[in-house]
Amino acid sequence: MFQAENLTHIAELQRSKRRWKILALGLLAVMTVLLFVAILSAFFVWSRMKSQQMMALEARERAEQIWQETRRAEQGATGIAENRRQKQPMEARPEDLGSLPDISFFQEHSSDRFLVDLDDFTSGHPFKGVNSMQPHAGAHINFDNSDKRWPRGGQEPANYPVIYAVADGVISRVDFRFGQKGGNDRYGLDLTFAGDRKGKQYRLCYSIEPMIPEPSVGFYRQFLVVQEGQRVRKGDVVAYMYCPPGVKDVHIHFHITMDRKKEFLAPTIFGSDVVRQFHAKWGGFGRDGDTPMPPCMGYRIGAEENPFGTGAKERL
C-alpha cells in the first residue's frame, strides 16, 4: 500500500511539472509575441518618421529650387531693365576680366577708396592672421545703431550707409540672402578686381551682416544695386548697409579670395591714408589679446594669407 501511495505521489509531481512547463512555455510564447509586436511597432513608427522627414526634406528642397528659379528670373528681369537704363552688359565679357590688373599692381597703386565712408561706422579691426593670438580671417567694419541714427530720413536704402566698389572690376557674385547660425541672415557680393599670370582671379568679398533674420522675404534685395556680370568703377555705389534700429553689432566682414584657394586672404590693397584713418576708428576692437595692433589691413598673417605671395608678414 505504501508503494502505491508513492507511485500516486510521483505521478502527481510529474503532472504538476508538466503543467508548470506548459505554463512557462506559454508565457515565453506570449512574451516572444509581445516582443515581436513591439519591434514591428517601433520599426513602423521609425519608418513613418523617416518617410515624413524625407517628405519634408523634399518639400524644402523643392521650395528652395522654386525660390532659386524665381530669384534668377527676377534678377534677370531686373538686370535687363537696369542694364538697358545704364547701358551696361548683363554678363562679364572676356575682355572685362582680361583687362583687370595683376594683383601686384596694388602693391604700388593702392586703393584710396574704402568700402564705406569713414564717418559712417563706429569701430572695426583688420584681418587677423593665423600667427595672431586671436585669428579672424576677415576685417570688420562695425556700425552701432543702438541710438537709431540710421536711416537718416525715410526708409529707402539710400538713407542708410553707402557701400562702394573699392577698385575697378566686375561683380562676380550677388547674394540676396545667406542664412547663418543664430538667425543672422546676411547678404553680399564679390568684386573681381585683379588677376595674375597664371590666370587666377582675385575677388574682394563683401559680407554684409545686419545680425538679424531677414525682416521679410526679399527684403535685402533693395539694398543691393548691382548685378552679377556688371562692370563697375572705383567709387561706384554697389550696396547699402541695412542697420536695424537698436542693433549695435551690425558689421561688414571683408576679405580677398583667389580661384581654387580655400584660404581667405588679407584685404591689403588700400593706401596708407585709408589704413591710418581706419585704424583711428578701431576702438576697443583694435587689440589682439592685450596687444594693441598697429595700423594695417593684415596683422600677423601667414604666407598663405598674403595676396601678393611675399610670405608671412607681421603687418601688411
Q: Where is the domain boundary, 43, 58, 87?
A: 87
Query: What range does the domain containing 82 cover?
Result: 1-87
Number of domains in the chain: 2
Residues 170 and 115 reside in one and the same domain: yes
The rounded distance, in Å, linking the Cα atoms of 231 and 194 is 13
Q: Where is the domain boundary, 68, 87, 106?
A: 87
| Cβ-based neighbour number of residue 176 at 10 Å | 20
Q: Please, which pLDDT band fits residue 17 given cuts at 50, 70 and 90?
A: confident
Residues 146 and 248 reside in one and the same domain: yes
The rounded distance, in Å, linking the Cα atoms of 87 and 58 is 41
At residue 87, the pLDDT reads 34
Residue 250's nearest CA partner among 120, 92, 89 is 120
Amino acid at 47: S
Residues 38 and 101 reside in one and the same domain: no
Residues 83 and 111 reside in one and the same domain: no
The bridge status of strand 298-301 relative to strand 127-128 is parallel
Q: Comparing 181-195, 231-245, 279-293, which segment has the lowest mean pLDDT? A: 181-195
CATH code of 271's domain: 2.70.70.10
At residue 316, the pLDDT reads 97
Backbone dihedral angles phi then psi of residue 156, each to the nearest 5 degrees: -65, 150
Strand partners, 63: none
Q: What is the pTM assigned to this prediction? A: 0.71
Residues 109 and 46 reside in one and the same domain: no
Residues 53 and 197 reside in one and the same domain: no
Residues 251 and 115 reside in one and the same domain: yes
